[in-house]
Amino acid sequence: MVRTPAETRLKDHRMLNRQVVLKRHPQGIPLPEDFDLVEGAIAQPTEGQMLVRNLFFSLEAAIRGWLDGKANYFEPIPLGGVIRGPSVARVVESHLAGFEAGDLIFGLHQWEDYSLSDANTVLLSKLSPEPDIPLSYYSGGLGGSGHTAYVGLHEIGKIQAGETVLISAAAGATGSMATQIAKLRGCNVVGIVGSEKKAELVTNTLGANAAVNYKTCGDLATAISQACPGGVDVYFDNVGGTTLNAALACMNTFGRVIGCGMISDYNDQDNPTPIYNMWKLVEKELTMKGFLLYTYMDKVPAASQQLHEWVRAGEITVLENITEGLPNASWAYSEMMRGATIGKNLVAMDFRADETAPLKMQ
C-alpha cells in the first residue's frame, strides 16, 4: 500500500541534500509540525567513510525516545539535528574497506538523501537482495523488524513447540513477524491489538489462534486468560504499561517475558505507567529480559537465512505501509505513532530531476 498525502513539487537543486530535522520537541504524539525539511550540501566522504544514497527508511517507534532532549541508549537528537533511522541505501562512493560503489547496505543513517557511513555505523551490513524479493523487505520483514522478532523469540523467549506465546502490538512491524514466527515454530499464538480490523488480520492472515482487542475487551487480564486458558508461557512485549501489567498476571510458572518495546509510554516518557504486578516475577519464577538487536548481531545471519526461506516458501506475509517521498516522512511518522497504521512503516525515497534513480524500486 502506497500513501501520498499530497503532491510534493520539488525544485531541481543540483548537489543539495534534503534533510528532515527536529524543529521542536514533540508534546505527546509527534506532529508533522515538529519537523522541518531543509537543504544543505552533500557531504564528501574521507578515508574510512562512504557516501550512500538512501532508498528506504524504516520508521521506528524507538525514534520517539530521541526527540525529547534526553539520552537513553542513544544520544538525543538536538533541535535542528537530522532525524536518524535505519535505512536501505546504495553506496555512491566508498573509501571504506569491504564496500564498493553500487553495493546495497543497511544501517542506521539519517533522514536525508545522502548520508555518510563508516565502520562504526550501527547495524551496518551489506545486502545481497534476491531478485524476486522486494528491496523494501530489507527495511522490515527481512531487516530490523524480522531480525528483532526472530532473535527475541529464540534468544530471549527460548520458545518451544506447544507453548502459548502472547504478543502485543501483534499487527505492527515486529509483532506481525513475531506472530508468524511463533506459529511456524509450533506455538499457540495470541495477539493483542487495537481494532477489530487488526484482530481479523492477525488471525486470518497471520495465523494467530486468537486475538484480543484491548480497546473493547473490558478487563485485559481477564480477556487474556480467556484467550489463553492454559496460561502464557512467553510474552513478547512491544507495549509495556497497562498491557504488561495484565500479561504478568497471566504468566505460567517459569514463563519468559521478552522486553522489546514500551510504545505505550513513548509519547509521554515523563509519566511512565506504574507496573503493579512485578511480584509475579517472584511468585511465578519468571524471567524478564530486555534486549536491543544490535547487541545480538552475531545471531542475525542465521535469522536472516531462516526468514528468507520462509518468505520464499510463502509461509510468512510481510506487511508493509509505504509512504512516498522524503518530504512526507514526518507525516508518515506521526500517523504511525498515533496507531493509525498496520505492519512495517517505510518511506520510499523520491529522486530529484538531476539524478538517476540509484536502483529500480521493486
Per-residue pLDDT of the chain (362 residues; tens, 9 = 90+): 444 333 333 333 446 899 999 999 999 999 999 999 999 999 999 999 999 999 999 999 999 999 999 877 789 999 999 999 999 999 999 999 999 999 999 999 999 999 999 999 998 999 999 999 999 999 999 999 999 999 999 999 999 999 999 999 999 999 999 999 999 999 999 999 999 999 999 999 999 999 999 999 999 999 999 999 999 999 999 999 999 999 999 999 999 999 999 988 877 777 889 999 999 999 999 999 999 998 999 999 999 999 999 999 999 999 999 999 999 999 999 999 998 899 999 999 987 666 655 544 44
Q: Using alpha carbons, select from 199, 201, 159 the residue that is nearest to residue 183.
A: 159
Q: Using alpha carbons, select from 281, 294, 279, 324 the residue that is nearest to residue 62.
A: 294
Q: Taking a C-beta distance cutoff of 8 angstroms, is the pair 151, 293 a contact?
A: yes
Q: Using alpha carbons, select from 251, 215, 218, 219 the residue that is nearest to residue 236.
A: 251
